[in-house]
């Protein structure tokens, strides 16, 4: 039965060569057998359609006679030849699969052919970006409420001070790529002759080389060392939250972008206060007489001592709210509140006189 190659690639019959190439690239990326969810049978069917439609002569005959004409080219309904096996291709290389020379940029497909062609365009200067690093910093409860500035000293890859991270001296235009940072590589594959664009190996995509390689960093642009970093920790940060400092990780090679520094903030517990959201909670113990008669007391807050009026007949467990005495709201304005819970301070010992007074109060119904 004749196959609809246009339908297989998902293009119209009047599709241009560019349309066919783009459709093939998209489907090949999706169904490549080495990718998760790939489909070897579907992949071969896509290639079969592409090998016909990309060739003007074959496409003309296909439009006239249908896919059955393919037997005249390959000894079967498959332009690759009968008995094609993906595993055989993977293990034996590319010899003998010249189907007519096609110029193709592997960036159109991504990395699906990376295993066969030694990588794709992804092996560019981005791969030289500095490594991300992570560290922790300890701050007090009070510092977490208001924010603080800290200094960290980290051992990591830093910019070479001898060549200023360039990797060498006496800069000149790269002769291999003529300063473009890219070179074209010809590859013979079972698809045909491919011209792939890749990063220049001599200048690592920078477009420049150096007559003299830096003796300190051996041309890498970075060396092992230590660096002091200033960190502004915002008020309101909570225990376990992370601060990211872009470019403050390890230095990249040959002037490329540095990695990021991730700082996990650890907040020490307070002996006086507990944080719940943006509010601070504390407990104050009062005598029976203070709860019954009322009183004016001093309460510890994150801002220092403040006066708190205890009304008469305040029950144990009553919570008073001190507005705007809580935690600074992270990335916002204002502060939370301070919740003060008053509880009865029950004595552990009573002398004889105190016991008599308690008995007297009990007789009076108190």
For the segment 261-278, what is each residue's pLDDT rounded down to a tens digit? 999 999 999 999 999 999
Q: What is the pLDDT of residue 1?
A: 54
Q: What is the pLDDT of residue 115?
A: 38
For the segment 222-254, what is each residue's pLDDT rounded down to a tens digit? 999 999 999 999 999 999 999 999 999 999 887
Q: Residue 340 forms beta bridges with which residues?
A: 282, 320
Token representation of residue 249: 């990780």
Q: Which of 163, 237, 239, 191 is nearest to 84 (CA)?
A: 191
Q: What is the pLDDT of residue 57?
A: 85
Least confident of 12-16, 98-102, 116-120, 285-289: 98-102
Asked if CATH classification 1.20.1250.40 holds for the domain at 133-165+224-268, the reply, yes or no, is no
Q: How many residues does the chain have?
A: 366
Q: What is the pLDDT of residue 188?
A: 66
97-123+168-213 in CATH: which number?
2.10.230
Q: What is the pLDDT of residue 292?
A: 92
5-92 in CATH: which number?
1.10.287.110
- CA dist 111 and 19 (Å) reads 21
**Do 133-165+224-268 and 274-363 share a fold?**
yes
| 88-99: average pLDDT | 36
For the segment 197-225, what is each residue's pLDDT rounded down to a tens digit? 888 888 878 888 888 989 999 888 899 99
Contact predicate 353/294, CB 8 Å: no
Map out the domains of the chain as residue ranges: 5-92, 97-123+168-213, 133-165+224-268, 274-363
Q: What is the pLDDT of residue 60?
A: 85
Contact predicate 210/168, CB 8 Å: yes
Q: What is the pLDDT of residue 32?
A: 80
CATH superfamily ID and name for 274-363: Urease metallochaperone UreE, N-terminal domain (2.60.260.20)
Helix (H, G, I), strand (E, B) or coil at 67: helix
Q: What is the pLDDT of residue 133?
A: 94
Q: What is the pLDDT of residue 95?
A: 35
Q: What is the pLDDT of residue 90?
A: 39
Q: Which of 55, 54, 67 is nearest to 25 (CA)?
A: 54
């Amino acid at each position: 039965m004749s196959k609809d190659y246009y339908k297989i690639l998902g293009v119209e019959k009047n599709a241009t060569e560019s349309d066919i190439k783009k459709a093939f690239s998209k489907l090949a990326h999706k169904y490549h057998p080495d990718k998760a969810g790939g489909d070897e049978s579907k992949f071969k069917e896509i290639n079969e359609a592409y090998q016909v439609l990309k060739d003007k002569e074959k496409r003309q005959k296909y439009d006239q006679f249908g896919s059955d004409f393919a037997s005249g080219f390959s000894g079967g309904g498959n332009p690759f030849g009968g008995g094609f096996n993906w595993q055989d291709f993977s293990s034996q290389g590319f010899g003998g699969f010249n189907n007519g020379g096609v110029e193709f940029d592997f960036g159109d497909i991504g990395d699906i052919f990376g295993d066969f062609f030694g990588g794709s365009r992804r092996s560019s200067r981005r791969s030289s970006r500095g490594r991300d690093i992570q560290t922790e910093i300890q701050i007090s409860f009070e510092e977490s409420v208001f924010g603080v500035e800290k200094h960290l000293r980290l051992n990591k890859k830093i910019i070479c001070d001898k060549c200023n991270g360039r990797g060498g001296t006496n800069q000149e235009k790269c002769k291999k790529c003529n300063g473009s940072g890219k070179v074209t590589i010809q590859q013979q594959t079972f698809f045909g002759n491919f011209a792939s664009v890749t990063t220049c190996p001599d200048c690592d995509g920078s477009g420049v080389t150096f007559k003299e390689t830096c003796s300190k960093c051996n041309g890498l642009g970075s060396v092992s060392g230590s660096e002091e970093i200033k960190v502004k920790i915002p008020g309101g940060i909570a225990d376990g939250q992370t601060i990211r400092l872009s470019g403050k990780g390890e230095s990249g090679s040959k002037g490329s972008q540095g990695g990021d520094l991730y700082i996990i903030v650890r907040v020490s517990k307070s002996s006086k206060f507990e944080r719940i959201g943006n509010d601070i909670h504390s407990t104050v113990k009062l005598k029976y007489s203070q709860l019954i008669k009322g009183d004016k007391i001093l309460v510890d807050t994150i801002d220092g001592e403040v006066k708190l009026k205890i009304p008469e007949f305040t029950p144990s467990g009553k919570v008073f709210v001190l507005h705007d005495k809580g935690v600074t709201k992270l990335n916002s304005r204002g502060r939370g509140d301070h919740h003060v819970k008053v509880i009865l301070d029950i004595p552990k010992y009573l002398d004889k006189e105190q016991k008599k007074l308690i008995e007297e109060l009990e007789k009076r119904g108190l």
